[in-house]
Structure 1
Amino acid sequence: MRAVDSYDYAVVRVVPRVEREEFVNVGIILSCGASGFLQARFALDEARLRALDPRVDIDAVRRHLDAMAAICAGTPDSGPIGRLPPRARFHWLTAKRSAIIQTSPTHMGRCTDMAATLDHLMRRMVLAPE
């Protein structure tokens, strides 16, 4: 049986008009220090975003989310932050900021399958109910 590992996660939010503090959950960043797992998954619902701000720059939002995914993956084009250890990247990505892309406070849990947990969190926290 696989050992149970602790993980941390944050919900990624798009806040199209920061002064109004309204947001749409668009993704999850999940990190496990013991296994070195760090992954982000996104589902951008343009209609929900446009309901908050019809002028939101969807292309800019996509570029920011793509950059977050690249940093999580540590790809060569992710810059100096992408070269940090996985836990340092997670903490950088989840640092409090006042911008169009924000994250929730960090939460923690325990599981045996990080990928399945990421799927579960996406269904529960991001995707619209069916």
Structure 2
Amino acid sequence: MQDKFIYEYAIIQFAPLVERREFFNIGAILYSKPKKFLALRFHIDEDKLAAFKSEYTKQELEAYLKAWERICNAEPKSNAIAQMEMPDRFRWLVATRSTIIHSSITHTGVCEDPEKELEDIFERFVL
């Protein structure tokens, strides 16, 4: 187990009407402190979006998720949250919120390669 590292992840969900508590998965975010890794992947299924009869467009949701991506990447020209330490950025992104885009509870695991693990989680729960 010496080559394995602890990670945490959450599934990113879209809830067109928060009050109805209906959602579908649109992404995954993974953080590994030992590997200094924080990233997310997202995909918005247009058929699911249409089935939910959402007032939000795919482009609007992607813009919101790209802001999350900038926070993960700590882009210097992004907002103040992007300038926080990596663990704090992850905690902010996965904090419980009542918005159209939110995350599931966090889960933990161990892996050798966080990038590969994120791709596996993304394929399993989003695609």
Question: What TM-score bracket applies, with the shorter chain setting the length?
Answer: over 0.9
Structure 1 position 41 matched with structure 2 position 34: no
Report matched runs for 1:112-127 at 5 Å.
Answer: 112-127=112-127
Letter in 2 for 1:91: R
What is the Cα deviation at residue 80 of structure 1? 0.7
Provide the secondary structure at the position in 1 that maps to 2:99.
coil
User: How much is the aligned-residue C-alpha RMSD, in angstroms?
Assistant: 1.4
Q: Give the % identical residues.
A: 38
Q: Write the letter of the residue equivalent to 1:85.
A: E
Q: What residue is the counterpart of 1:31 in the other structure? A: 31
Deviations 1:37-90 (A, max 9, x none): 000111111220121124323332111101001100111232110011111100
Q: State TM-score, norm by structure 2.
A: 0.94
- The aligned residue for residue 79 of structure 1 is 79
Correspondence for 2:60 = 60
Shift of 1:19: 1.3
What stretches of structure 1 move > 6 A for 4+ residues in a row? none
Do structure 1's residue 19 and structure 2's residue 19 form an aligned pair? yes
CA distance in 1, matches of 2:65, 2:90: 14
Give the whole-Å Cα distance in 1 for the aligned partners of 2:75 and 2:68: 11
Gap regions ≥5 residues in structure 1 = none
Stretch of structure 1 that moved more, 103-112 or 38-47: 38-47
- Number of equivalent positions: 127
- The answer to whether the 8 Å contact 1:71/1:78 transfers is yes
Maintained 8 Å contact 2:14/2:23: yes
Q: For 1:13 and 1:121, locate their aligned partners in 2 and report how far apart those are by CA, in whole Å.
A: 14
> Which amino acid in 1 is paired with 2:102?
Q
